[in-house]
A = this chain, B = another copy of it.
């Protein structure tokens, strides 16, 4: 079945407490050299039909209404993933 990946990130102007917490924890665990971290979401959707234009438009609409909160998040990418053999 075709697989579509949706990437959602907090908008740049939104404070991201999860990312800030991770960024603060990294040096405590010995990982230096990372200036900032932002945490978003990654959804993998399996489509029942082909990943054609219409299906991707539907996924994008779902991504913008259900998978992300448009007040604080951006859908940064919707991409089709090749079938694994």
Contact = CB atoms under 8 A, between A and B. Distances in A.
A1 B35 contact: yes
Stoichiometry, copies per complex: 2
A62 B19 contact: no
A11 B17 CA distance: 25
Interface residues of A, number: 35
A22 B65 CA distance: 12
A55 B34 CA distance: 9
Contacts of A20: none
20 contacts: A19-B43, A19-B44, A22-B43, A25-B66, A29-B65, A29-B66, A31-B61, A33-B47, A33-B49, A33-B58, A34-B59, A35-B46, A35-B47, A36-B45, A37-B46, A40-B41, A40-B42, A40-B43, A41-B41, A41-B42
